[in-house]
Amino acid sequence: MTNFSPSREFAKQLDQQDSLASYREQFIINDPDLIYLDGNSLGRLPKSVIERMKKVVEEEWGTDLIRGWNKGWWESPSRIGEKIATLLGAREEQVVVGDQTSINLFKLVTAALTFQPQKKRIITDTFNFPSDLYILQGIVRLLGNRHEIIRIGAQDDDITPDLAALENAITEDTALVTLSHVTFKSGYLYDMAHVTELAHCKGALILWDLSHSVGAVPIELDKYDVDFAIGCTYKYLNGGPGAPAFLYVNKAIQNDVTSPIWGWWGQNNPFAFNLDYQPAPGIQRFLAGTAPMLSTLAMEEALTPLLDVGMDALRAKSILMTDYASFLTDHLLAPLGFSLGSPRDSAERGSHISIRHKEGYRINRAMIEEMNVIPDFREPDNIRLGFAPLYISFADIWEGFDRIRKVMEEERYEKYPKQRLVVT
Ligand SMILES: Cc1ncc(COP(=O)(O)O)c(C=O)c1O
């Protein structure tokens, strides 16, 4: 780990050495004073998306009209899937984009459970994003309450899942292990190779939710022979609010599993308009209905800077940023009652950290309302700080921490009610 210093000058030095610093100019930054630490929830807008959208709306929709489907729209879920595949360590014809993360999870979990119907266990953890747990619960009910969902808890610290319990829970009766690769609160990063191996040893399938890791950490789906993966594109991929999600199905099992949603985009030869469903061969069968072209093409454009930089350089800067933020937490904020809510070892961490304080909710509100800093809050006491390597500077990080310090020293959070707003 670098020998950090808590001075503002040191942050400037880190910026001078940052080989990705110039990428910030490729993003819309309307308010230079805003410290935006929520790119792990909604990434910033790349400038080139504006031009692309203008063209899509005026020329492709406005002039081409229905002809647009034969000029690149129809293939876009697969074409963009191939681009995202390069971030996932996946060879061609295994990734498509479309629908939401929650819906893709529904499709793939149902496919996995019906593939081995005699197996009853589904292993997940309490660190998983709640929508994932709800989707699992809904599927279990839909399939006649024959499955048992086992949620692995935390080690003592609430930062790291109980890995020994995870290993013990995966038995021969396990149909599926499904986890978030990087967990949404503490940012814990699972060892994908190890956990995938644990699942496969017992004949279980594995599904990784990559929402918090795609574009933030290198991923090797093919190398570890992962079965399924899903993830969203509006966080580190900067695809825009509600941008379509992606899904991955390992080529080896694609034709043995089916989507529970038999839509015409997953049909073999959809324009034959046959009255009976025949799944398309390969990954195509996991599409459902008409892709939302405006958001799909905006997201495609947004990938450009990320694909240009590549995951190794992104990860190197991300680790430096989260190491630096952990250092500032210890030096500037620990004396004010904060503790680090994320792993200290960067090998076990994604690109966000949580800082914990019993007044976390009110501090987070004061940051947003008065200090022009945007983190987000996750119950019960986590202020999440996301570090998107393409557009965050080290000076931003220093400034963000300094403003948190001011909120505490001036007790600015005390005027806010403890009652939560709808979106935190
Ligand atoms: C890890 C994870 N999984 C799933 C989801 C749900 O995604 P969506 O709302 O796009 O279905 C989210 C949303 O933030 C998430 O963070």
Q: Residue 104 CA: which ligand 1 atom is closest?
A: 11
CA-angle at 123, arms to 121 and 128, nearest 5°: 145
Cis bond before residue 241 (omega within 30° of 0) = no
Task: Name the residue of 129, 181, 217, 423 to mutate for ligand 1: max ligand atoms within 8 A of Cβ.
Answer: 129
pLDDT in tens, 127-165: 999 999 999 999 999 999 999 999 999 998 889 999 999
φ, ψ (nearest 5 deg) of residue 101: -60, -45
- Tell me the pairing of strands 121-125 and 373-374: unpaired
pTM: 0.97
Is-contact 280 271, C-beta < 8 A? no
- The reply to whether 55 belongs to the active site is no
Task: Using the mean position of ligand 1's atoms as its centre, give its distance from the Cα of residue 211 in Å.
Answer: 7
- The reply to whether 384 belongs to the active site is yes
**Which pLDDT belongs to residue 156?**
80
What does the DSSP assignment read for 100-164?
Answer: -HHHHHHHHHHHHHHHSTT--EEEEETTS-HHHHHHHHHHHHHTTS--EEEEE-B-TTSSSB-HH
Q: Residue 183 CA: which ligand 1 atom is closest?
A: 1
In this structure, the residues whose C-beta lies within 6 A of any atom of ligand 1 are 100-102, 129, 131-132, 180, 184, 209, 211-212, 232, 245
Q: Please identify every stretch of the chain with a pLDDT value under 50, giving residue numbers as ranges.
A: none
Task: Using the mean position of ligand 1's atoms as its centre, give its distance from the Cα of residue 129 in Å.
Answer: 7
Question: What's CA 408's distance to the chain center, in Å?
Answer: 31
- The reply to whether 381 belongs to the active site is no
Catalytic residue, chosen from 52, 235, 349, 365, is 235
**Residues in a beta bridge with 383:** 355, 377
**Which pLDDT belongs to residue 420?**
83
Query: Which of 381, 385, 386 minimizes the C-alpha distance to 158?
Result: 381
Q: Residue 245 CA: which ligand 1 atom is closest?
A: 10
Task: Name the residue of 184, 207, 234 to mutate for ligand 1: max ligand atoms within 8 A of Cβ.
Answer: 184
- Tokens 């809510």 — which residue? 341
**Which pLDDT belongs to residue 194?**
98
CA distance linking residue 210 with residue 230, whole number of Å? 6
pLDDT in tens, 73-100: 999 999 999 999 999 999 999 999 999 9
What does the DSSP assignment read for 236-275?
Answer: TT---TT---EEEE-TTTGGG---S---GGGBSSGGG--S
Q: Residue 234 CA: which ligand 1 atom is closest?
A: 10
**Which pLDDT belongs to residue 1?**
62
The chain-wide mean pLDDT, for the chain, equals 97
